[in-house]
Amino acid sequence: MIRFENVSKTYVLSGQRKTVARNISLTIPDGACVGLLGRNGAGKSTMMKMIAGTLAPTTGHIHHSGSVSWPVGFAGSFHPELSGAQNTRFIARIYGCDTEELIDFVSDFAELGGHFHLPFRTYSSGMRSRLAFGVSMGVRFDTYLIDEVTSVGDAVFQSRSRDLLLERTRRSGAIVVSHAMGMIRQLCTSGAVLEDGTLTYFKNIEDAIAAHEDNLARKKQ
């Protein structure tokens, strides 16, 4: 369960104040797979960072009743001088995972070959994303935060990523950001639409998609 209590978020961008959350109070149930929808610039990534706890709301609180992942595929916390394997081992220890089990899983899934044992700073952006996705999926959470990550790699890797996401969301909840409505429909049963600082929860994903598309149509008028 993720509960928002009077959550607001305002920041200054290029000298202009922007509000992406305005006094939001709602509850996302345990085990729900939620599509987080909104226009470009609506604040979806900011919302995901607040849920993850890496960004604080301006006011209000977000409460979790279970474990919540960092945004899946986020590579910003890896140490550049450590190898992929060493970074993976460190994360396993932090989250209380079986170290060798996580190493084996990430090595197999990320398909980095010998680069897995080279410093992270030597990785290409695609390699960094594959490592980050593998580590994210290798650690079990009650809720996964997924932000446009299945576009990483070639078609085969993308297919494997989608299959793994589907397997994980059968046992855990998820909050998913994607502009691909096919992906949203595949992963999510409910939705939340972020528009002008207001977050509206819909139990049915089709209702959420319809509201989102209506918002897009009105903005074009």
Q: Whole-angstrom Cα distance, residue 142 to residue 45?
A: 20
pLDDT digit of tens for each residue in the chain (221 aa)? 999 999 999 988 888 899 999 999 999 999 999 999 999 989 999 999 999 998 999 999 999 988 999 888 777 789 999 999 999 999 999 999 999 999 999 999 999 999 999 999 999 988 998 898 899 999 999 999 988 765 566 677 878 888 888 898 888 999 999 888 988 998 999 999 999 999 999 999 999 999 999 999 887 65
Res 14: pLDDT: 82
Domain range enclosing 204:
1-67+145-153+173-221
CATH of the domain at 186: 3.40.50.300
Res 152: pLDDT: 61
Whether residue 139 lies inside any domain: the answer is no
- Distances from the Cα of 70 to the Cαs of 52, 55, 96, 144, in angstroms? 5, 11, 15, 8
Q: What is the residue-averaged pLDDT of the chain? A: 91
Whether residue 179 lies inside any domain: the answer is yes
Whether residue 36 lies inside any domain: the answer is yes
Number of domains the chain contains: 1
Whether residue 88 lies inside any domain: the answer is no
Q: Whole-angstrom Cα distance, residue 14 to residue 134?
A: 35
Res 158: pLDDT: 79
**Counting every residue, how long is the chain?**
221
Where does the chain have alpha helices with state H? Answer: 44-52, 84-94, 99-110, 125-138, 155-169, 181-187, 205-220
- DSSP annotation of 29 reads P
**Coil, strand, or helix at residue 95?**
coil
Whether residue 164 lies inside any domain: the answer is no
Whether residue 55 lies inside any domain: the answer is yes
